[in-house]
């Protein structure tokens, strides 16, 4: 049993189950009330968005400003499915369709634009997101135009929220720690050397883009299902920037950094509600201060591992023994 | 049949002729040197051979397993897959990655699991990753880099970085290895060790090697044949002894009229 506890995936599963159980307990005992549950959902959505954008920008080194576009595709896909068939299975199907459509659009957009580098790619992806927004604005019959879709039945609960969030994060974590993920990282490090070492750089840029887009689609689907209402302007340029801020704040190339940053920034913005007039000013000032003192982001490109947590636990025990 | 046949290879950059009508043949298992003054077009030839630049005209043919492959239209990663890899004159390691990851990335083209196995950690993933880890350790051990496998590449000493670049190139399992000034910036002792290493890897990995080098003593000592390039043209080729006494080569390196004393 002790040996079983030491294997990595058992530890990981235990940590996940524990997180799930604790928050479930807080929700059932109503310590985590309605308002804080909204924050919880926002945090999870932002985790998915930030981790998936980190795959594209932090790991593969492709600067994208169009992540909200993929999110909106997921949101609309799921909303349309769920509005027509209002059952839990169709919601689950809607989430998968959301991922699929976003992935297809990611492929179609990625193939031509990923030939561009740096600033040019940023502008191209920005334009792509604006085009998607305008398509939704003008497809009156399907998307109800600027008025948006409302009355979307709410199927998402803490269980499904946790499953989709943990699922996408684990999937991306697995990816970046596989040989395919290393191929993506080599593109960020030195594209010419990566090519010369046999990495098909175009292929791996597009793969990173597709996986990132699919996950953003899932985030959009969760958003639509929880907040009842979506309209094209919710997924504009500013939303993409919000996601990018989380990624940079957490550290380009660090999954745990993105997760921590999503939580920290959501908490900051929630507690700043008390100062509603100067909330955005304080938020911006905080960001500037943090970036001055930690330009590489909270985590740099490092990861929090369970081993580190174990060490911390060890320190704690030592101290107790000394006392 | 030569393993590499370069036929009338030409490259223009706008109005500048960088490489003109170069013919070259490398037999299997040969160690051939490519020398010439600065700006003669040596690195351009490497860039053409590895697909970083596309030739303006001419053909490059690689013979492998009885088949001949035309390299001149292929992309760099396809050329690497065909069995040609290189090192770079100005070291191009993945600086912010570990020594181990540098080598593992070069093994990517030969991995035996797909995207789905990687995403869901299927059993195949574990087996293949373990195999890659073992192969990388073996390779790093050869280059005395195994105890530094978790260091970032940028923190290695200059000589270690040069050797890591060769190790990384070998991790792609090439049949033809192109070395671009591997001894640049090394002291005489390191250069001697490098010469031994190059000869040894040729035997051990059964390679054909094409070597660009400025250090004449190194080239003359280990190469079987030498091509001399000047202003993008091959001005001479032959054994080290023939090159040493070639009038045109001496002129290219030292200037004309050396014999008359009024140079």
Query: Averaged over A146-166, what is the pLDDT?
Result: 91
In the predicted model, is pLDDT for residue A323 greater than 50? Answer: no
Whole-number pLDDT of residue A322: 47
ipTM surpassing 0.95, yes or no?
no
Q: Does B89 touch chain A (CB under 8 A)?
A: no
Whole-number pLDDT of residue A1: 52
Which three-class secondary structure state does DSSP give residue B182? coil
Q: What whole-number distance in Å separates Cα of residue B76 and Cα of residue A9?
A: 38
Q: Does A301 touch chain B (CB under 8 A)?
A: yes
Q: Give the H/E segment covering residue B225.
A: strand B225-230
Q: What whole-number distance in Å separates Cα of residue B172 and Cα of residue B106?
A: 5
CB–CB contact B105 A196 (8 Å): no
Q: Residues for chain B: how many in total?
A: 263
Report chain A's mean pLDDT, rounded to a whole number: 88
Domain ranges of chain B: 1-83+174-263, 97-168
Q: Which of A179, A192, A200 lies nearest to residue B52, judging by beta carbons? A: A192
Q: Looking at residue A149, what DSSP letter applies?
A: B
Residue B262 pLDDT level (bands cut at 50, 70, 90): very low
Domain ranges of chain A: 13-19+33-322
Q: Which of A164-178, A306-320, B106-120, B195-209 has the lowest mean pLDDT?
A: A306-320
Q: Does A215 touch chain B (CB under 8 A)?
A: no
B167 contacts in chain A (CB < 8 Å): none
Q: Which of A29-43, A68-82, B81-95, B113-127 has the lowest mean pLDDT?
A: A29-43
In the predicted model, is pLDDT for residue A206 greater than 90? Answer: yes
Contact by Cβ (8 Å): A283, A276 = no
Whole-number pLDDT of residue A257: 93
Whole-number pLDDT of residue A24: 87
Q: Which of A28-37, A55-64, B112-121, B209-218 has the lowest mean pLDDT?
A: A28-37
Cα–Cα distances (Å) from A4 to A20, A55, A209, B48, in that order, read: 21, 31, 37, 54
In the predicted model, is pLDDT for residue A310 greater than 90? Answer: no
Q: Does B106 touch chain A (CB under 8 A)?
A: yes
Query: Averaged over A85-114, what is the pLDDT?
Result: 93
Query: Averaged over B29-42, what is the pLDDT?
Result: 92
Q: What whole-number distance in Å separates Cα of residue A67 and Cα of residue B198?
A: 48
What is the chain A residue with the closest CA to B49? A196
Query: What are B125-166's pLDDT values in tens digits?
Result: 999 999 999 999 999 999 999 999 999 999 999 989 999 999
Q: Nearest to residue B94, comparing CAs of B170, B168, B44? A: B168
More confident call, A11 vs A231: A231
Q: Which CATH architecture group holds A13-19+33-322?
A: Orthogonal Bundle (1.10)
Q: Nearest to residue A58, comparing CAs of A308, A302, A304? A: A302
A175 contacts in chain B (CB < 8 Å): 118-119
Q: Does A199 touch chain B (CB under 8 A)?
A: yes
Report chain B's mean pLDDT, rounded to a whole number: 91
Q: What whole-number distance in Å separates Cα of residue B195 and Cα of residue A28?
A: 72
Fold of B1-83+174-263: Rossmann fold (3.40.50)
In the predicted model, is pLDDT for residue A78 greater than 90? Answer: yes
Residue A271 pLDDT level (bands cut at 50, 70, 90): confident
Whole-number pLDDT of residue A279: 77
Sheet harboring B208-212: ordered strands across? B84-86, B176-180, B208-212, B31-35, B225-230, B233-238
Cα–Cα distances (Å) from A83 to A138, A218, A250, B9, in that order, read: 19, 17, 36, 64
Strand-pair category, B84-86 with B176-180: parallel
CB–CB contact B118 A175 (8 Å): yes
Residue B261 pLDDT level (bands cut at 50, 70, 90): very low
Q: Does A29 touch chain B (CB under 8 A)?
A: no
CB–CB contact B108 A182 (8 Å): yes
């Amino acid at each position: 049993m002790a040996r079983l506890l030491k294997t990595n995936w058992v530890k990981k599963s235990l940590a996940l189950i524990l997180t799930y159980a604790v928050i479930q307990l807080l929700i059932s005992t109503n310590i985590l009330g309605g308002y804080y549950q909204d924050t919880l959902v926002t945090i999870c959505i932002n985790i998915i968005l930030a981790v998936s954008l980190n795959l594209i920008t932090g790991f593969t080194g492709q600067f994208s400003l169009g992540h909200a576009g993929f999110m909106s595709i997921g949101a609309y896909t799921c909303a349309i499915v769920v509005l027509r068939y209002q059952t839990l299975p169709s919601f689950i199907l809607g989430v998968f369709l959301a991922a699929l459509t976003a992935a297809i659009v990611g492929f179609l957009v990625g193939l031509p634009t990923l030939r561009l580098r740096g600033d040019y790619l940023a502008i191209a992806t920005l334009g792509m997101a604006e085009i998607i927004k305008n398509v939704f604005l003008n497809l009156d019959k399907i998307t109800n135009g600027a008025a948006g879709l409302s009355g979307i039945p709410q199927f998402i609960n803490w269980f499904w929220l946790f499953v989709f969030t943990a699922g996408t994060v684990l999937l991306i974590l697995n990816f970046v720690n596989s040989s395919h993920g290393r191929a993506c990282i080599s593109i960020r490090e030195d594209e010419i050397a990566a090519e010369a070492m046999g990495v098909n750089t175009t292929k791996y840029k597009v793969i990173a883009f597709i996986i990132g887009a699919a996950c953003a689609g899932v985030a959009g689907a969760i958003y639509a299902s929880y907040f009842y209402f979506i309209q094209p302007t919710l997924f504009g340029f500013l939303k993409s920037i919000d996601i990018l801020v989380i990624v940079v704040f957490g550290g380009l190339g660090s999954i745990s950094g993105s997760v921590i940053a999503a939580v920290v920034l959501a908490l900051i913005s929630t507690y700043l509600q008390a100062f509603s007039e100067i909330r955005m000013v304080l938020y911006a000032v905080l960001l500037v201060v943090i970036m001055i003192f930690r330009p590489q982001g909270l985590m740099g490109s490092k990861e929090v591992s369970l081993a580190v947590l174990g060490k911390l636990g060890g320190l704690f025990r030592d101290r107790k023994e000394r006392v | 049949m030569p393993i590499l046949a370069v036929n009338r290879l030409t490259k223009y950059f706008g109005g500048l002729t960088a490489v003109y009508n170069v013919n070259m043949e490398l037999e299997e298992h040969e160690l051939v040197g490519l020398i010439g003054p600065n700006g003669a077009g040596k690195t351009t030839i490497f860039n053409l051979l590895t697909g970083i630049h596309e030739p303006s005209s001419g053909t490059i043919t690689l013979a492998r397993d009885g088949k001949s492959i035309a390299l001149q239209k292929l992309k760099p990663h396809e050329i690497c897959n065909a069995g040609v890899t290189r090192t770079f004159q100005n070291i191009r390691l993945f600086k912010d990655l570990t020594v181990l990851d540098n080598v593992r990335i070069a093994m990517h083209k030969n991995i035996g699991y797909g995207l789905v196995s990687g995403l869901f950690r299927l059993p195949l993933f574990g087996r293949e990753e373990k195999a890659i880890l073992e192969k990388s350790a073996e390779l790093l051990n050869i280059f005395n880099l195994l105890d530094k496998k978790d260091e970032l590449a940028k923190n290695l000493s200059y000589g270690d970085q040069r050797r890591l670049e060769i190790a990384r190139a070998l991790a792609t399992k090439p049949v033809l290895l192109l070395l671009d000034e591997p001894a640049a910036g090394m002291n005489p002792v390191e250069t001697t060790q490098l010469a031994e290493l190059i000869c040894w890897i040729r035997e051990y990995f059964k390679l054909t090697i094409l070597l660009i080098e400025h250090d004449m003593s190194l080239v003359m000592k280990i190469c079987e044949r030498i091509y001399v390039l000047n202003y993008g043209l091959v001005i001479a080729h032959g054994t080290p002894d023939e090159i040493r006494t070639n009038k045109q080569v001496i002129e290219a390196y030292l200037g004309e009229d050396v014999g008359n004393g009024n140079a």
